[in-house]
Structure 1
Amino acid sequence: MSDLGISVVICVYTEDRWEDILAAVSSVRAQSRPALETLLVVDHNRALLDRLAEEYKEHRESGEVRVLANAGPRGLSAGRNTGIAAARGGIIAFLDDDAVAERDWLRRFAEGYEDPRVMAVGGRTMPVWASGRRPAWFPEEFDWVVGCTYRGLPPGRVRVRNVLGGNASFRRTAFDAAGGFATGIGRDGDKRPLGCEETELCIRLTRARPDAVLLIDDRAVIHHRVPEAREHFRYFRTRTYAEGLSKALVARSVGADKGLESERRYTTRVLPAGVARGLRDALLARPGGAGRAGAIVAGVLTAAGGYVVGSVRARRGGAGFSQVHVARIADGEGGRAG
């Protein structure tokens, strides 16, 4: 097993998730393979920064849990870059602030790095629905809408184009080779729920290191809370449109061939099979079948619309984001509260 220490970065931004944040940290501290440290990066929220610093002040000297201020612009990418710059581990893992990791999460990640070619390892993210069960109309093929592993990803430990950001890890040398997460693609506070920043990074990484291997191991499991507001079709539609916008930025950055390689397989194989299952369930009078088929079609059309709009905007106004490299953050731009 890899003897590299693992730093866990959790980016946080709102006190509304206070209990979730504490649960996320507790799940890291309970790992069968202990983390070297947990870094809580607070996104431009002084009250939350101070509250977390007070909560974990007893860990300040040991460094087991450290609380940092996002040193870059508001948003998830800059928060992750702040964590990367401050981390001491040879492996840096990322956990969503509203998720809890199973006990062997880090152990499964570490096993993947026994192969020196492996530059990134992701895991499986399971939804925890606020209502207690999956909405009947919500297709598993679109679980990425709520930040979870979706139907269509291969099982086991497999090689992939990109890992999924809320449940992922990278060698530190991956960031040395490719730089940090690009700002302007992913989420930014209360703005439109964009994404794909990890996709862009992974493609950039494999270009910088053509021998790099990226894996997903579905035994590295986390459980991600899905709030009630995200169980409705309105959010589904907003998120799929935003995904289209993000894909346009990624395609402009790294080229459509790489930027849309996995998406072509997904839309031509996985989604038609999902529509067929939904229609079959509808014919058999099973709950939600027609809704799932309809949601898949609506999701494709909405994402396609976002992609077209994003492509036009990118051509008119430039890519719309900049790459923020770890070295830049490390040169005196970091912040720390505790």
Structure 2
Amino acid sequence: MSGLGISVVICVYTEDRWADILAAVASVRAQSHPALETLVVVDHNPELQDRLEREYKETDEVRVVPNAGPRGLSAGRNTGIAASYGEVIAFLDDDATAERDWLRRFADPYSDPRVLAVGGRAEPVWSSGRRPAWFPEEFDWVVGCSYRGLPPGRVRVRNILGGNASFRRSAFDIVGGFATGIGRDGSKRPMGGEETDLCIRLTRARPDAILLTDDRAVIHHRVPEAREHFAYFRTRTYAEGLSKALVARSVGTDKGLESERHYAGRVLPAGVARGLRDQFLARPGGARRAGAIVAGVLTAAGGYVVGSVRARRNGTTFAVVPIEADGGGAE
């Protein structure tokens, strides 16, 4: 669909990522399928907003807008959806760059009206220059990237990954926006799961909906040095357990943990076996990778138990509001 209008939303929150933000926007502006517009949504940081407005004041295709909701990624994305014009809205992390054909790979499947979401592959760019020897590929989701165990090619999935994603605008008309109360909200705890929740709600409301990933829609996601350490790995896996508990409470355990059962039952045991084999063959880091997988499972499971207890005790609820277009909607 060469004429498909795609709005790109990049949510930002800190000047510490200034160079990353500029690189992300530049990668969108260099697409082979030109973006209709790029919206940079600033999460309650007036200084950063002012600086970005000065940077792009003479650039018609880049708009800088403040997050109109509570602090956090979900409200920022909802703000971008409401302010955008495209028939499709794509999301790019503020510390990632997209390959030249990223939007073209997204656009092609939307020729089928049943396709409501298309995601892609995120490759890690390690600040140290190489993957830490102990870090298992099965856990690359810890640093916001695609992980070993995801199906290759263009395939149908339960949910797409939020840092490299696109949705048909009508999807938000059907189920509203991203739920606040799930995912990152400006706190130090690295939560997630808001895109999983949205995708499950979408396929429940529209059983005929098709959600795809295409591993040719590639972004390169920078991994800061602080996230290359086991301390962050442990914190993030625990937070993922908390997040999964919230998602399961929102959409039910059957769908909320459907993909995770396959991942934990097949992908991770194979990863442990691979690590032990590498150790036997004297390859660097084999035993440590196997140990990290076991530790990741245990901390995620611990987070899930704690999150489930808290959700039941506190009666946790999530806000899902309709998206009211203030950008004009699809052209």
* Mapped pair 1:110 → 2:101: no
| Separation (CA, whole Å) in 2 of partners of 1:312 and 1:123 | 34
1:39 paired with 2:36, answer no
Identity of aligned residues (%): 84
Q: Residue 183 of structure 1 contacts residue 324 of structure 1 at CA under 8 Å; is this kept in 2?
A: no
Mapping 1:178-257, distance limit 5 Å? 178-257=175-254
Check whether the contact 1:81–1:325 (CA below 8 A) recurs between aligned residues: no
Match of residue 4 from structure 1: 4
**CA root-mean-square deviation:** 1.1
Structure 2 CA distance, aligned partners of 1:277 and 1:18? 39
Counterpart residue number, 2:63: 66
- Runs (4 or more) in structure 1 with deviation over 6 Å come to none
Kept in 2: contact 1:179–1:326 (CA 8 A) = yes
User: Is it true that 1:55 corresponds to 2:51 in the alignment?
Assistant: no
Which of 144, 149, 155 is 1:147 aligned to?
Answer: 144
Letter aligned with residue 43 of structure 1: D
> Secondary structure of the equivalent of 1:113?
helix
- Could you say which residue in structure 1 is the equivalent of 2:118? 121
Q: Deviations over 1:233-269 (max 9, x none)?
A: 0000000000000000000010000000000000000
- Deviations 1:180-219 (Å, cap 9, x if unpaired)? 0001111122431000000000000001111100000000
What amino acid is the match of 1:17? Answer: R
- Give how far 1:101 is off: 0.2
SS of 1:182 mapped into structure 2 = coil
Which secondary structure state, in structure 2, belongs to the residue aligned with residue 219 of structure 1? Answer: strand
CA shift at 1:115, angstroms? Answer: 1.2
- Corresponding residue for 2:267? 270
Shift of 1:141: 0.2
How far residue 285 of structure 1 moved from its aligned partner, in angstroms, is 1.1
Q: Deviations over 1:31-61 (max 9, x none)?
A: 00000000000000000000000100002xx
Aligned equivalents of 2:322 and 2:17: distance in 1? 29
Is the partner of 1:180 in helix, strand or coil?
coil
Q: Does structure 1 conserve the Cα–Cα contact (< 8 Å) formed by 2:68 and 2:75?
A: yes
In structure 1, C-alpha distance between the alignment counterparts of 2:91 and 2:185, rounded to whole Å: 17
Deviation at 1:325, TM superposition (A): 2.7
Paired residue total: 327
Unaligned runs of 5+ in 1: 333-338
Q: Is the 8 A contact 2:120 2:165 kept in 1?
A: yes
Q: Which residue in the other structure is 1:165 paired with? A: 162
Contact 2:2/2:33 (8 A) holds in 1: no
- For residues 76 and 16 of structure 1, what CA distance do their matches in structure 2 show? 17
* Matched position secondary structure for 2:214: strand
Structure 2: gaps of 5 or more residues: none
Question: Which has the larger displacement, 280-289 or 187-196?
Answer: 187-196
Separation in 2 of the partners of 1:296 and 1:2? 43
Q: Which residue of 134, 149, 154 corresponds with 1:137?
A: 134
Is the Cα–Cα contact under 8 Å of residues 238 and 299 in structure 2 kept in the other structure? yes
TM-score when normalising by structure 2: 0.97
Secondary structure of the structure 2 residue equivalent to 1:10: strand
Paired amino acid for 2:214? D
Alpha-carbon distance in structure 2 between the residues aligned to 1:176 and 1:191? 32
